Amino acid sequence: MAMLRRFLLKFNPNPSSKSTSGSRKISLVYVSYVMIGFITLASTALTATNHPLIQLIERRSQIISYRLRGVVTPPDDIIILAIDQASLIQGEFYASKPEQYADLEPIQSWPWQRRAYAIALDRLMQARAKSVSLDVLLLNPSVHGIEDDQQLEQALKTYGDRIVLAGFYDAYIHDGNLTHHLALPVLKGSEDNHQGYINVVPGVDGRIYDQPSRYYDKVISSSIPQIPSFAEASLQAADRTATLTPKLARSELYYYGPGGVTFRQVPFWEILDPVTWTRHQRQRTFNDKIVLIGATAVSLEDIIRTPFDDQTPGVELHATAIANYLQGKAVTHWLPNPASNAILVFVIIGSSGVLLWAVHKASRQVIGTIVLLLGWASISYASFTWGRYILPTMIPLGAIALSGSTAIVANSIQSQLEQQRLRRTLERYVASPIVQEILTHYSEDYQSLLKGKRLNATILFCDIRGFTTLSMNSDPEALVEQLNEYLDVMVEVILNAGGTVDKFIGDAIMAEFGSPLSQGEQTDTLNAVRAVLEMRKALVHLQAKWQDAGKPILFNGIGLNFGEVVAGDIGSLRRREYAVIGDTVNIASRVESMTRKFWTDILITDSVYQWVKDEVNVVCVGNHPLKGRERNTVRLYTLVGMKGDDPSLYQTVHQRLRKTYHFSETAGSP
């Protein structure tokens, strides 16, 4: 480190005196103080405004907390009789064999006959359900005729206030003003049943957070007739003495889990089918339950967004609200208004800034910033998960991160300047193709190269097999000498073929063909193929040399993949390099690791093969999932050689690999 410092000072054109350096450092510290103060005040002011953008940012913490927490078991008092996709297609069975599936006739086509709901009400009541709530809007007469309505009306009359029907506050423009109209079921006598509105209030991000009971207070004027929410009406139908406390009514929903997997669901058609209905009777499925009938099929478009997912059936929201009422659970803000939250944010960020100022070393400030971030994130998560209280989270975390970054930069600026001088010196060792592209294409706009660009390239990954085991059992000096000899030969082959060595990852080599300079995608890919075949030959010669010298024999695996990458100046403030990144790179790395599976040294993907298929001989090994990409398979080929080449070298390498690694493959990876 001392030698490096002397080297930097030697090339400093105008070395500053101690006093000048000190004053510069002091001024930077004062600037950081001012910036941290500004961050604190700005965060406080933004929180106090409660602007929709601030709400949107803060909601992210709630979403993250829910998903980290996972599924919580809801009360088993609630069952959803689901109008699911399976129920919607039952009409196909009826259409094919009407006599055999006569019981499915009421649901042969959508919208279903209302007789289907009448049958369901009769059977559920006979099964001793506490109440049945029909989350289906019946705002118009049945398309199947007046008799169809009459059958449902008779069932509603029979069971009275144990049934809940859905209403809806419809919004429309009248005389230039937004007006609401309460739409209720058209069925005769439905006023004797409980009725509840199904409207909800979406948050700024389109997700539902508020209890449905807050819709009337937030949206509807007092001049419009008021009915309870669908969930409140369902609770009253199940328990005539039940009342909703003001705290619950004004709170936010406490979600138990994502849609489709949280509440128990029974397909609607099982109520009509004699066999499945008999089974449910025997199992007392609906005994003493609150039953909600509603759509879960995506095709019916009764889908809402929740903090858990974007595909939750609307009926599950009502089930969630009912479960909250039964358990007395609710999500509330720990502080009642934006002003109180702003004061809390000021205290959090201000105290964090003071702690960071008290620490003078950049390394300790990094640790301090991480501790502060993790500390407040943990407090917020614990408050939400176990106390069901919402605390300001994202704004404080962002402000702490900014304050910490400011303090760290102010205390490490001198080392960064040294790094910049060192980088200018090391630029002499940048690969010549990159320098040439900068000189030719970016002489006037160097930053455009640093910002990166998308291009197509062939990516090569080459890794020595069993190197970890070898390094543990070999003399370090001899091993480094042999490794350098191997890397020198492999790199020379790559460069001679027009490739660019991107980086060394231990004993592995990553290279690309087509970045930064491309000779055409087909030519680049063909150059890559020729390079790996030449690497195979070179390694065979090295193996013979090592064997004569009594050295360990090294084998390698090579993977090639073609596709789009992002190329640019990538890294941290302390270290950057021109590199390529992207899914194409990840696939190439995983393909290289698959060579062990097939006892071969070179595997190429189908994207490579399509460019060179007229020039090479390959053996297709089929479609295979790659590690971390199990849902998608990749077609792989082992590379034999160029067309017209003698395949004996490939066969020799394949046999050596099989002989060398057969035992270790069966006993464990080398």
Question: Are residue 567 and residue 656 in the same domain, yes or no?
Answer: yes
Closest CA to 153 of 115, 104, 125, 108: 115
Is there a domain that residue 2 lies in? no
Quick one: pLDDT at residue 437? 53
**Last-in-domain residue among 389, 421, 453:** 421
Quick one: pLDDT at residue 466? 75
Sequence-distant (6+) residues with CB within 8 A of 608 are 458, 525, 528, 529, 560, 561, 562
Amino acid identity of residue 97, one-letter, is K
Question: Are residue 414 and residue 510 in the same domain, yes or no?
Answer: no
Is there a domain that residue 11 lies in? no
DSSP one-letter code for 444: S
Cβ(475)–Cβ(420) below 8 Å: no
Quick one: pLDDT at residue 521? 93
Listing DSSP states for 208-251 in one string gives: B-B-GGGHHHHH--TTS----BHHHHHHHHH-TT----HHHHTS
* Summary count for the chain: helices (H), strands (E): 24, 19
Which residues of the chain have a pLDDT value below 70?
1-29, 216, 218, 220-222, 240, 360, 414-451, 468, 573, 576, 578, 661-670
Question: Are residue 519 and residue 602 in the same domain, yes or no?
Answer: yes
- In this prediction the pTM is 0.58
Question: Are residue 455 and residue 570 in the same domain, yes or no?
Answer: yes
CA–CA distances in Å: residue 24 to residues 10, 19, 21, 28: 21, 9, 5, 6
Question: Are residue 310 and residue 359 in the same domain, yes or no?
Answer: no
Count the domains in the chain.
Answer: 3
Given the structure tokens 């994502």, which residue do they identify?
258
Give the integer Cα–Cα distance in Å for 416 and 574: 7
Question: Are residue 477 and residue 395 in the same domain, yes or no?
Answer: no
Question: Are residue 144 and residue 167 in the same domain, yes or no?
Answer: yes
Q: What are the strands, taking DSSP E only, across 548-615? A: 556-571, 576-581, 602-605
Residue 541 belongs to a domain with what CATH number? Answer: 3.30.70.1230
Cβ(118)–Cβ(106) below 8 Å: no
Is there a domain that residue 603 lies in? yes
Is there a domain that residue 16 lies in? no
Is there a domain that residue 416 lies in? yes
Quick one: pLDDT at residue 17? 40
State pLDDT tens for residues 198-253.
998 899 999 999 888 888 676 766 677 888 999 999 999 998 677 777 778 788 99
Instruction: State which residues form the domain around 480.
Output: 432-667
Question: Are residue 233 and residue 279 in the same domain, yes or no?
Answer: yes
Is there a domain that residue 311 lies in? yes
Question: Are residue 297 and residue 342 in the same domain, yes or no?
Answer: no
State pLDDT tens for residues 536-577.
999 999 999 999 988 888 999 999 999 999 987 777 767 767
Question: Are residue 417 and residue 316 in the same domain, yes or no?
Answer: no
Give the integer Cα–Cα distance in Å for 285 and 123: 12
**Last-in-domain residue among 331, 366, 400:** 331
Is there a domain that residue 64 lies in? no
Strand, helix or coil for residue 376: helix
Question: Are residue 377 and residue 446 in the same domain, yes or no?
Answer: no
Cβ(198)–Cβ(230) below 8 Å: yes
**Last-in-domain residue among 421, 454, 474:** 421
Is there a domain that residue 617 lies in? yes
Quick one: pLDDT at residue 426? 33
Question: Are residue 366 and residue 490 in the same domain, yes or no?
Answer: no
Quick one: pLDDT at residue 13? 38
